[in-house]
Amino acid sequence: MCCASGKVKLPEIKTPPEPLNGLLIGTDPDSNLFLKSIRKFNSCFQMTSFGATEIIKNNSANGQQFNSTFKIKGQVYHRVGSLLPMHNEPHKFLQIYFMGCEDSESALVNRVDARCSYNNLNSPFARRIVGDLDALLNEHNNC
């Protein structure tokens, strides 16, 4: 039943390039921070913001609220926003990708600042991880 009785062959998943692989498997010194805050780091590189007309909140047995994974009702949408930031506002989401993929130190600092400030990643360790991942993505994707 699975994979059409062996007719469907999926390629092996390739090992991610460094530094991502080291962060994921625990060999990088900042792995603990990365894995503990992986959703924030993922959000640093998103191009849109996910939304829905109604997000359903659940209550646990002791009455505390928690959000389940994508339990929504109504219309699902992505907030893209303007391609350029509003006056005196920082770049966010897709706007960061329009800052250019220059390799200059100031361009990298600007991209890291934009990604980290919006996601409350202010430690030097978090900034290093975001900078390393930015470089990785620029190396493996054409601008």
- pLDDT digits 0-9 by tens, 83-133: 677 788 776 766 666 555 566 777 778 888 888 887 888 899 999 999 999
- pLDDT digits 0-9 by tens, 4-32: 788 888 889 999 999 999 999 999 999 99
Query: Under a CB-based contact definition with an 8 Å cutoff, are residues 130 and 122 in contact?
Result: no
- DSSP per residue, 76-112: EEEE---SSPPTT----GGGGGGG----SHHHHHHHH
Question: Domain residues of the chain, as ranges?
Answer: 19-48+80-143
What's the pTM? 0.65
Q: Rounded to an integer, what distance in angstroms lies between the CA atom of residue 136 and that of residue 13?
A: 18
pLDDT for 94? 67
- The answer, yes or no, to whether residue 134 has pLDDT greater than 60, is yes
Q: Rounded to an integer, what distance in angstroms lies between the CA atom of residue 13 and that of residue 99?
A: 32
Q: Rounded to an integer, what distance in angstroms lies between the CA atom of residue 117 and that of residue 43?
A: 11
Q: Rounded to an integer, what distance in angstroms lies between the CA atom of residue 17 and that of residue 121?
A: 23
Q: Rounded to an integer, what distance in angstroms lies between the CA atom of residue 97 and that of residue 45?
A: 9
